């Protein structure tokens, strides 16, 4: 198995993600735009003049987007500035002998200004948007938090690095599976708040509107909101003893059954809204499959060499599917969405959720009987844990 994984890590995939290699001596860093390799080297940069929250934000944001920190002598890109009042920063390309970014930020906290600077650093160096901001504010995640490690808990919302956390649900019961409504500060999630049975709720945190959108006999679980925010996929067993994939309008109306499999779970949407990927059983074996969101034939997605796949998430650019596999341990795997190459095992963990940049994931990492959330750069495999909110934090979902 180890040899197999080493071979997988060497496979090249054609994607529009920057491929970075270390500078050799006084040679500039080569940034290739047309391909990438899992296990690639991070971009070495230097950081000088920042302290406190601003420094920690810059180090976190850049590390989980494929950067490493070295001395100024060893870095092609030198990041300098200060945060004595507000964040002021510059990025200099040492080999090109020019400043490629110069910014001064006002009107926000030091953390929000540092997030904004990190975003611009990523774009200035790689040509790709950063993950720190979404619609002008710091990018958010939602997740399940359980103070005792199991049993009742709440859904929390926080910045993607774990700061500025807030309780999002008033349930005081078992909750699970938050799914963002794209473009809105709103979630669908599971709750046992009514009838001691899992129902699916919709909650808009701006208007305060909260309502049940799936309350059928049996289980109502695993909501996943479509990219346009107009529909929700879910798992119900209302028509028998088998859990299957259903889809409805976001208000719960126009419910339609899409699958009739042995044991379906964990639906997620393709970014164009045309397909729903999910985990299922075929001939008693766990696998991934997809079905047209409008209804039609179920198509199996091969996961050669990886067993018991579940919890898929489709990247926003449409190129990747991340999922959890269980082969002794739980592992985060990534594969091309079209199934054209075998999955690559990236790290131990569960419940991956893609960031908007389609290269960074947040996932849950088991530690004993509890979970901690961690942010991962898929291609360098660099990861950092975020601060724990409660005894156990799991089932993260990145806002889009």
The pLDDT of residue 36: 55
β-pairing, 275-282 vs 88-93, is unpaired
Give the right CATH number for 9-133 from 3.40.50.880, 3.40.50.10070, 3.30.465.10, 3.40.50.170.
3.40.50.10070
Closest C-alpha to 158, from 144, 172, 147, 170: 144
The alpha-carbon radius of gyration of the chain (Å, integer) is 22
The pLDDT of residue 171: 83
Residues 166-187 have pLDDT tens digits of 999 988 899 999 999 999 999 9
In a 13 Å sphere around the CA of 206, the CA atoms on its Cβ side amount to 5
Please list the residue range(s) of the chain that carry CATH number 2.120.10.30. 139-398
The DSSP result for 278-295, as a single string, is EEEEETTEEEEEEEETTS
Contact 320, 336 (CB under 8 A): yes
The pLDDT of residue 26: 52
β-pairing, 67-69 vs 43-48, is parallel
The pLDDT of residue 123: 96
The CA-atom distances, in angstroms, between 179 and each of 123, 136, 169, 313, 324 are 28, 21, 13, 11, 17
pLDDT in tens, the chain (400 residues): 334 333 333 332 332 333 333 333 455 554 443 345 788 899 999 999 999 999 999 999 999 999 999 999 999 999 999 999 999 999 999 999 999 999 999 999 999 999 999 999 999 999 999 999 887 889 999 999 998 888 899 999 999 999 999 999 988 899 999 999 999 999 999 999 999 999 999 999 989 899 999 999 999 999 999 999 999 999 999 987 799 999 999 999 999 999 998 899 999 999 999 999 999 998 888 999 999 999 999 999 999 999 999 999 999 999 999 999 998 899 999 999 998 899 999 999 999 999 999 999 999 999 888 999 999 999 999 999 998 888 999 999 999 8
Phi, psi of 121 (to 5 degrees): -60, -50
CATH H superfamily, domain 139-398: TolB, C-terminal domain (2.120.10.30)
CA distance linking residue 364 with residue 10, whole number of Å: 26
The pLDDT of residue 133: 86
């Amino acid at each position: 198995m180890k040899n197999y994984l080493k071979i997988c890590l060497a496979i090249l995939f054609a994607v529009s993600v920057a491929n970075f290699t270390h500078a050799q001596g006084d040679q500039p860093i080569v940034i290739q735009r047309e391909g990438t390799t899992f296990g690639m080297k991070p971009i070495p940069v230097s950081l000088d003049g920042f302290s406190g929250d601003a420094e920690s934000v810059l180090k976190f944001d850049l590390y989980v987007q494929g950067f490493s920190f070295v001395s100024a002598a060893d870095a092609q890109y030198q990041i300098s500035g200060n945060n004595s009042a507000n964040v002021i920063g510059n990025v200099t390309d040492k080999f090109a002998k020019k400043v490629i970014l110069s910014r001064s930020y006002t009107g926000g906290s030091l953390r929000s200004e540092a997030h904004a600077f990190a975003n611009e650093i990523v774009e200035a160096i790689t040509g790709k948007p950063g993950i720190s901001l979404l619609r002008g504010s710091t990018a958010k995640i939602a997740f399940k938090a359980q103070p005792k490690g199991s049993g009742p808990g709440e859904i929390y919302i926080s910045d993607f690095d774990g700061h500025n956390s807030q309780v999002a649900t008033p349930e005081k019961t078992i909750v699970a599976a938050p799914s963002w409504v794209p473009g809105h500060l709103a979630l669908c999630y599971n709750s046992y708040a009514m009838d001691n049975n899992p129902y699916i709720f919709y909650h808009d945190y701006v208007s305060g509107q909260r309502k049940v959108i799936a309350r059928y006999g049996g289980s109502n679980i695993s909501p996943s909101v479509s990219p346009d925010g107009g529909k929700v996929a879910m798992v119900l067993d209302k028509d028998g003893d088998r859990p299957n994939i259903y889809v409805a309008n976001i208000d719960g109306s126009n419910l339609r059954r899409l699958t009739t499999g042995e044991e379906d779970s964990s639906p997620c949407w393709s970014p164009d809204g045309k397909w729903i990927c999910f985990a299922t059983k075929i001939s008693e074996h766990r696998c991934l499959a997809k079905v047209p969101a409008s209804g039609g034939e179920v198509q199996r997605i091969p996961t050669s060499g990886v067993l018991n796949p579940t919890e898929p998430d489709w990247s926003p650019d449409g190129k990747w599917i991340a999922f959890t596999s269980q082969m002794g341990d739980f592992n985060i795997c990534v594969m091309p969405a079209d199934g054209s190459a075998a999955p690559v095992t990236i790290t131990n963990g569960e419940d991956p959720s893609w960031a908007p940049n389609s290269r960074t994931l947040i996932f849950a990492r088991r530690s004993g009987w509890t979970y901690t959330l961690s942010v991962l750069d898929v291609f360098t495999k660099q990861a950092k844990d975020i601060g724990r909110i409660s005894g156990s934090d799991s089932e993260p979902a990145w806002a889009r």
